[in-house]
Structure 1
């Protein structure tokens, strides 16, 4: 009997020791798992972080602008508006079909650019120049017509209109090209410097075309 009891006790002791080992192993495993999960947790949090940073950085870069961009947009809006106004006089006054076609092309190109430039200013928290806002400073933008010159163009017709329109628009385009060159050199906003490049390219070609048309007359 005594031996049987001793055997039962030994078996119980071994079983308890085994259970304790299992508990310790489980705790150890659980701890490792927790640590791993903890690392993974941090990793999961840290993982999007660089990507979020990169995304924010790309966003900032895309929206980056400086004073030159603001000056370009604020100057080009009234400049374009006047060119569109001049072009709008051509259908009823021009004699040359080529002048009418050129005026239509100018209006088609510059009207959407006015909207784009206005959108940039709004997104930058800047004031968009008011319609018809013309002061003495606008004449320093390069090639802007005075009120008297605009009235003279409006009152002309036929060949006289064609000549005045071409001469005035050449000056106007030359001013826009200079403004665009300044933006390319000093601007920081990618879309604005790209628009400046398009203005230089398209308006330089139109200046050449207008000079040829004047040569024909």
Structure 2
């Protein structure tokens, strides 16, 4: 079954990568869960450049759409592996959104448009973003066709995020934004591999 394959794949990746693939959750010193990228606003360095601002302003709506897609999966997916992955994506990317909003505040930079203003929109061709038509088609699907469409779309969505994160590593300056970009690449590349495995089954 797909769930068995997912668990086997996770086990084969090793504990550290498993935690990353399951949303980047790592226990804190007090035992509470959290992401390695979750940084308090007071701890965000003032050092930044335009690439850092562009990264945060773009990745926030990108993550918000992934959370929207995950919420759709939690309501419509049938495959337990898809449901589990949707939960992990939502749990990881929600805190990362707040971290990036904190970065923009720390730098005195403008926040991106409110979530309701860009959800389901193309966002000027931003890498991996689904169009309003894509999101509507996903919303109309159900059962196994939904699961396959969601996995296919989320692979493309993750690949776009990885491309954006690689640009940040090449051009950014802020240490916290660079660390977040590295975590996005690590986590989402692992999730891409898992989703491609599910699609291949």
Does TM, scored on the shorter chain, surpass 0.5?
yes
More helix by share: 1
Q: Displacement, 1:123?
A: 1.6
What is the DSSP-based 3-state SS (H/G/I as helix, E as strand, rest coil) of the residue aligned with 1:62? coil
Tell whether 2:175 aligns with 1:190.
yes
1:14-66 C-alpha deviation (Å, 9 max, x unpaired): xxxxxxxxxxxxxxxxxxxxxxxxxxxxxxxxxxxxxxxxxxxxx9x932000
Q: What residue ranges of structure 2 are gaps of 5+ in the alignment?
A: 1-41
Please say if residues 122 and 130 of structure 2, whose CA atoms lie closer than 8 Å, have aligned partners that are also in contact: no
**Structure number with higher relative contact order (C-alpha < 8 Å, ≥ 6 residues apart):** 2
Structure 2 residue 127 is the aligned partner of structure 1 residue 142 = yes
Aligned length: 157
**2:89 corresponds to 1:110:** no
Tell me if structure 1 keeps the 8 A contact 2:78–2:144. yes
The DSSP-based 3-state class of the residue aligned with 2:115 is coil
The one of 142, 149, 161 equivalent to 1:176 is: 161
Structure 2 equivalent of residue 78 of structure 1? 61
CA 1:174–1:102 in structure 2 vs 1: closer, same or farther (change >3 Å)?
same
Deviations 1:107-160 (A, max 9, x none): 000000000101111121111112223397724220100001101111111101
Q: Is the 8 A contact 1:184 1:197 kept in 2?
A: yes
Indicate how the Cα distance of structure 1 residues 77 and 63 shifts in structure 2: closer, same or farther if over 3 A, else same. Answer: same
Partners of 2:60 and 2:97 within 8 A in 1: yes
In structure 2, relative to structure 1, the CA distance for the partners of 1:169 and 1:137 (3 Å cut) is closer
Q: CA RMSD in A?
A: 1.8
